[in-house]
Amino acid sequence: MAVTRPSYFEWRAELEAEAGRWRVSALLLGVACLALIALLVFQASRPAPVYFFTGSRGLAIGGLARADRVPPELVEAFASQITLVFGNLMPATARQSYSRMRAHMTPSLQRQLAAQAAADLQSIEERQLSTSFTVRDSVVVASADDQWTVQVLGHRLSWSRATLMSEEDIAYEFDIVRARPSDANPAGLVIARVSVGRPPEPARRPAPPPAPGQNS
């Protein structure tokens, strides 16, 4: 029985078809690799989400904040944390606390408060001043595009050495703006303005009208 072998041209056509299939496979594999690399770069370049937990107004609130959305609860939690640094000072740790505060301020606010901070540190170290602050409430009182005004209410105790000097209710107010998130500042928030004063007086309810037949 005679065996029919493919001719040279048939072999060449088959090899070219096989090479074409390999080229298509290599092209598809390259496209898939590029898509995977682009996805990895996109995920790596996105700021990591921030998990936050805060308690105010008698409620415990937690959640997830991403770079494209900052919930007001995260801003309130950030303001409460900064207030605790502001309000709890001791001579031995005052300079470290002030450095932490500067890291969460805008450059313009750092320059604005530089002279006052130096005077405060000198007074704390010379007079051995200490303060203790307890947060009672933190609330966003105004908000705009990537900017919030937060009011933090609490109670502060002040000592000079071992002598209690004052005990008072304090209200901190912050203007907070967005910043680029980092390992040191995962929330991506900084303070643009800060003020300290007395808490607002609660609104008084009007006295009820007298009942009919009663003298006013």
What's the CA angle centered on 171, arms 165 and 172, to 5 degrees? 105
Domain limits, the chain? 10-45, 53-197
Instruction: Identify whether the C-beta of residue 78 lies closer than 8 Å to the C-beta of residue 163.
Output: no
pTM: 0.63
Q: What is the pLDDT of residue 101?
A: 87
Radius of gyration of the chain (CA): 32
Q: What is the pLDDT of residue 112?
A: 93
Q: What is the pLDDT of residue 60?
A: 46
Regions of the chain with pLDDT less than 70: 1-9, 11, 42-69, 201-216
Q: For the chain, what percent of residues have pLDDT higher than 70?
A: 75
CATH annotation of 53-197:
3.10.450.230
Residue-wise pLDDT tens digits, 118-134? 999 999 999 999 999 99
Question: What whole-number distance in Å separates Cα of residue 41 and Cα of residue 45?
Answer: 6
